[in-house]
Amino acid sequence: MERKVRSHWASRIGFIWAAAGSAVGLGNIWRFPYMTGENGGSIFILVYLLCVALLGLPLIIAEVMLGKISQRNPVGAFQKLAGKNTPWQLAGFMGVLAAFVILPFYSVVAGWCLSFLYKTITGVFEVGHSMAEIMSIFKQLTSSPIQQSVFHGLFLAMTVGIVLAGVQKGLQRWTEILMPALILILVGLAGYGLTLPGAQEGLNFLLSPQPEKLTSQSILSAMGQCFFSLSLGMGAMLTYGSYLRANDRASNSSLWVVLMDTVIALLAGFVVFPIVFTFTHEPAQGPGLVFVTLPASFLQMPGGTWIALAFFILLFFAALTSSISLLEVVTAYFIDEHKMLRSAAAIMPGVVCFLMGVGCAYSGGYFDFLDKLASNYLLPLGALIISLFTGWKLDKKFAKNDFGGTWFYGFFYPWLWCVRIIAPLLITLIFLNALGIF
Ligand code: TRP
């Protein structure tokens, strides 16, 4: 059967916004601050930044490149580049499956965010509410499967809606609107955070390393966070790369995405920790950090409901531009490999993820399990395979071309040795170390 012409981004900038939209998400604004809080602050950030430089950057280039060269979804990409029915394609299938692990819990958390927006607008949150009151509102939400399912369903419906509209009219158009808005709100909130009395203490927590707090588990968490935050290891970046044109560059576009993602995670820290150290002094709160401590702190201040409103809009935008990339992996797979229409290929997995998310909502702790399973195991494993494939199996001329002809060319060999040796070795060592093997 003849293939339809593949859709492409309208411009290179379109790709950068969309890929940055995928990367910047709950991972930066909800997960990164609480992970940092739980794992000892600045030392975690230091390890995280090392992971970004040695694993994140080389691997995002590799993933985007595999997409660009193959012009396919993750399964099709490995089949096209490695040949039919080789074990490599397992990485592609694992990616499509990982979307069904991540999207349901991601969307439940994004649903919390929508519900908080709703509560802020309808006046459930009022200035003067205490920490205990917010805590009980959050507990009531997370123990109500019905409430959670409604908001999670709403969020998924929006995700499906955007993916339905396609590459240029859906993914690209919405990220080009939502991402600049997100950056404006974040910079505003960070500016505000830095004027608070706890700013100094907050920044100290983020910036002065205490190496004694580093454990093998926190190194694994830093690596997991790096892959999760950059949307790596399951083919999301590969799929976005597949909408580049053959003469676009994967390499230096990816650099922009990594820069934006990292700066935005740090900025989120500059918003959260000054506030935490001004009002509660409890940085190690876990997943409730952004949903309890933060709103409770906002509501101690005059006009706090407006700040809460801005913050939850920010979180919602960030989540939406990421969830569409998770769904797009599955949609692209069904369109390419099973010749489905985009509508069916977006709605069907959307419904499955909705039902799985409802399952999450009914069984509380299960979502933490999915989160860890994906970030600490599935993504690093996927990234390991992608790295070995790009380093050893893919013809070097593709990568050489991609890097060629610009100031970026000097990075070709360092990049190559990263994906060949350094990344696979580091991922394996961090795994073994976390399993307690040495
Ligand atoms: N990177 C996003 C975040 O930080 C989440 C995300 C989108 C993701 N697509 C992904 C994570 C693919 C892993 C794999 O919130």
Query: What tokens does 198 get?
Result: 């706890």
Is 357 near ligand 1, meaning CB less than 6 Å away? Answer: no
Q: What band does 438 get if pLDDT is binned at 50, 70 and 90? A: low
User: The CATH number of the domain where 255 resides is what?
Assistant: 1.10.4160.10
Q: Is residue 5 part of a domain?
A: no
pTM for the whole thing?
0.94
Distance 32 CA to ligand 1 centre (A): 12
Task: Note whether 259 and 106 are within 8 A (CB).
Answer: no
Could you list the residue range(s) of the whole structural domain that residue 320 is in?
Answer: 12-434
Please name the amino acid found at residue 239: T
| Ligand 1 atom at shortest distance from the alpha carbon of 233 | 14
User: Which SS3 state, helix, strand or coil, does residue 19 take?
Assistant: helix
Q: Is residue 3 part of a domain?
A: no
Q: Is residue 89 part of a domain?
A: yes
Is 23 near ligand 1, meaning CB less than 6 Å away? Answer: yes
Q: Is residue 224 part of a domain?
A: yes
Query: What tokens does 334 get?
Result: 């069904």
Q: Is residue 287 part of a domain?
A: yes
Q: Is residue 317 part of a domain?
A: yes
Residue-wise pLDDT for 327-338, tens only, equals: 999 999 999 999
Task: Note whether 120 and 309 are within 8 A (CB).
Answer: yes
On the question of pLDDT at 2 being above 50, the answer is no
Residue-wise pLDDT for 43-74, tens only, equals: 999 999 999 999 999 999 999 999 999 999 99
34-38, 213-217, 242-246, 368-372: range with highest mean pLDDT: 242-246
Is 418 near ligand 1, meaning CB less than 6 Å away? Answer: no
Enter the DSSP assignment of 4: P
The radius of gyration of the chain from alpha carbons, rounded to an integer in Å, stands at 21
Is 305 near ligand 1, meaning CB less than 6 Å away? Answer: no
Question: Following DSSP, what letter does each residue of 274-303 receive, concatenated?
Answer: HHHHHHT-----GGGIIIIIHHHHHTTSTT
Residue-wise pLDDT for 127-160, tens only, equals: 888 888 999 999 999 999 999 999 999 999 999 9
- Find the angle CA(121)-CA(125)-CA(126) to the nearest 5 degrees: 105
Enter the DSSP assignment of 7: P
**Which of 316, 291, 371 has its CA nearest to residue 21?**
316
Distance 178 CA to ligand 1 centre (A): 16
Predicted local distance difference test score (pLDDT) of residue 1: 40
Q: Whose CA is nearest to atom 8 of ligand 1?
A: 231
Q: Is residue 2 part of a domain?
A: no
Is 26 near ligand 1, meaning CB less than 6 Å away? Answer: yes
Enter the DSSP assignment of 243: T
Domain count within the chain: 1
Q: Is residue 7 part of a domain?
A: no
